[in-house]
């Protein structure tokens, strides 16, 4: 295990956040509970595939403590020149999650930081050095050099460095954010203009979303932050919207981010479809089909009034592989049709489980 493996997410270990990020960004694991780090299961081959995990950055924080012989926060306060402007939030108050998410910042400070970072990166890349006079940020090229491929197959290179995603335009973004689930096939950014290197990252915590893009060629930084957890990754769409203006993408090559926002929002609001029941009349007999499946076809026999039963002899139900047990009361086998004021069938009522109200299915 090396620092590079940790910071470019090649460990293959599980995500882990859902177990230590609680309500209101409270951290549920203490700083002394290092065994939590050791308990994470490996999901992918070690050094073989990209597997994003903030737990890896927690391990990097432990390395800082070991080498400096002081706590992570004492080290940050001593060496970080922006410490007076950036204060800790709940993510990291008790150490854990500090290295991955335990600082508060603002657009003004981040633009200063990224401006210095881009100046240092370009200077160090051109000079072959690891530092730049007047800039405390060192080894910029090492941080932004590709360490593992992402989003394959792709025409242009997409990869991950140490804490940053690299995209050679035209290429796809959003690999670290929340929009890749509702919109799995992302559109290319940077079409119709000369290709260039684009560096970006996204962040998310309860009530917080952010997206940043760095353009080393023009030393341009785009920072978008939000103070809510929306129905989609709004900063991701906004930062791409600004990007197309910054690099002057031709109008006929621009992505419709309003449409993408609507699609991703609608996906987040989707409900799983309710079970459906198909009623058919064949040869003078009524049948019902759960979910419309032929394997679930049962004849309906009149019971009383507008109620029918689909109960069959036990041997017949067993022969068909249907569960038969004491948890299925008499009401389970009854189906009641309900009519409108015009005396037309408009609803079907079925009590599918003990102790719950009957579910009504409306005629479609």
Q: Are 37 and 95 in contact (CB under 8 A)?
A: no
Statement: residue 240 has pLDDT above 90: yes
Is residue 127 domain-shared with residue 223, that is, in the same domain?
Answer: yes
Query: Using CA atoms, how far apart are residues 195 and 169, in angstroms rounded to an integer?
Result: 5
Is residue 75 domain-shared with residue 200, that is, in the same domain?
Answer: no
Is residue 264 domain-shared with residue 281, that is, in the same domain?
Answer: no
Is residue 91 domain-shared with residue 126, that is, in the same domain?
Answer: no
End residue of a domain, out of 207, 238, 268: 268
Is residue 68 domain-shared with residue 156, that is, in the same domain?
Answer: no
Is residue 126 domain-shared with residue 229, that is, in the same domain?
Answer: yes
pLDDT of residue 189: 94
What pLDDT digit, counting tens, does each position of 97-108 carry? 666 666 677 888
End residue of a domain, out of 101, 119, 142: 101
Is residue 239 domain-shared with residue 119, that is, in the same domain?
Answer: yes
Q: In 92-207, where do the E strands start and end? A: 148-149, 158-160, 165-168, 197-205
Is residue 173 domain-shared with residue 237, that is, in the same domain?
Answer: yes
Is residue 171 domain-shared with residue 38, that is, in the same domain?
Answer: no
Average pLDDT of 107-123? 92
Statement: residue 95 has pLDDT above 60: no
Is residue 179 domain-shared with residue 88, that is, in the same domain?
Answer: no
When divided into structural domains, the chain yields a total of 3
Segment holding 335, helix H or strand E? strand 334-339
Range of the domain at 10: 3-101
pTM beyond 0.75? no
360 token code pair: 């009504």
End residue of a domain, out of 77, 101, 125: 101
What pLDDT digit, counting tens, does each position of 131-157 carry? 999 998 899 999 999 999 888 888 889
Query: Using CA atoms, how far apart are residues 72 and 96, in angstroms rounded to an integer?
Result: 10
CATH number, domain with residue 319:
2.40.128.50
Is residue 259 domain-shared with residue 287, that is, in the same domain?
Answer: no
Cβ atoms within 10 A of the Cβ of 344, count? 8
What pLDDT digit, counting tens, does each position of 209-227 carry? 899 999 999 999 999 999 8
Is residue 118 domain-shared with residue 203, that is, in the same domain?
Answer: yes
Statement: residue 166 has pLDDT above 90: yes
């Amino acid at each position: 295990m090396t620092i590079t493996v940790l910071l470019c997410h090649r460990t293959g270990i599980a995500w882990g956040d859902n177990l230590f990020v609680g309500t209101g960004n409270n951290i549920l694991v203490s700083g002394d509970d290092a065994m939590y780090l050791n308990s994470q299961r490996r999901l992918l081959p070690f050094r073989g595939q990209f597997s994003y995990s903030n737990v890896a950055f927690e391990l990097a924080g432990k390395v800082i403590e070991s080498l400096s012989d002081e706590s992570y926060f004492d080290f940050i306060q001593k060496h970080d020149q922006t410490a007076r402007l950036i204060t800790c939030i709940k993510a990291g108050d008790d150490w854990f999650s500090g290295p991955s998410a335990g600082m508060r910042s603002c657009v003004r400070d981040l633009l200063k930081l990224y401006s210095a970072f881009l100046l240092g990166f370009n200077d160090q890349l051109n000079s072959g050095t690891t530092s730049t006079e007047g800039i405390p940020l060192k080894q910029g090229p090492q941080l932004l050099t590709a360490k593992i491929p992402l989003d394959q197959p792709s025409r242009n290179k997409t990869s991950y460095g140490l804490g940053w995603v690299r995209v050679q335009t035209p290429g796809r973004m959003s690999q670290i954010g929340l929009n890749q689930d509702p919109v799995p096939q992302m559109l290319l950014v940077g079409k119709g203009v000369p290709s260039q290197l684009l560096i970006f990252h996204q962040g998310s915590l309860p009530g917080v979303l952010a997206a940043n893009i760095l353009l080393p060629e023009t030393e341009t930084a785009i920072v978008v932050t939000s103070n809510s957890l929306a129905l989609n990754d709004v900063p991701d769409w906004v930062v791409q919207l600004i990007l197309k203006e910054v690099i002057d993408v031709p109008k006929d090559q621009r992505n419709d981010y309003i449409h993408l926002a609507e699609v991703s929002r609608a996906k987040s609001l989707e409900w799983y479809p309710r079970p459906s029941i198909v009623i058919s009349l064949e040869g003078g007999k009524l049948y019902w089909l759960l979910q419309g499946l032929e394997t679930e076809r049962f004849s309906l026999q009149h019971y009383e009034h507008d109620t029918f039963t689909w109960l069959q002899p036990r041997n017949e139900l067993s022969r068909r592989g249907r569960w038969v047990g004491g948890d299925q009361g008499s009401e389970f086998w009854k189906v009641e049709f309900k009519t409108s004021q015009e005396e037309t069938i408009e609803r079907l009522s079925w009590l599918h489980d003990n102790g719950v109200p009957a579910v009504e299915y409306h005629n479609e």
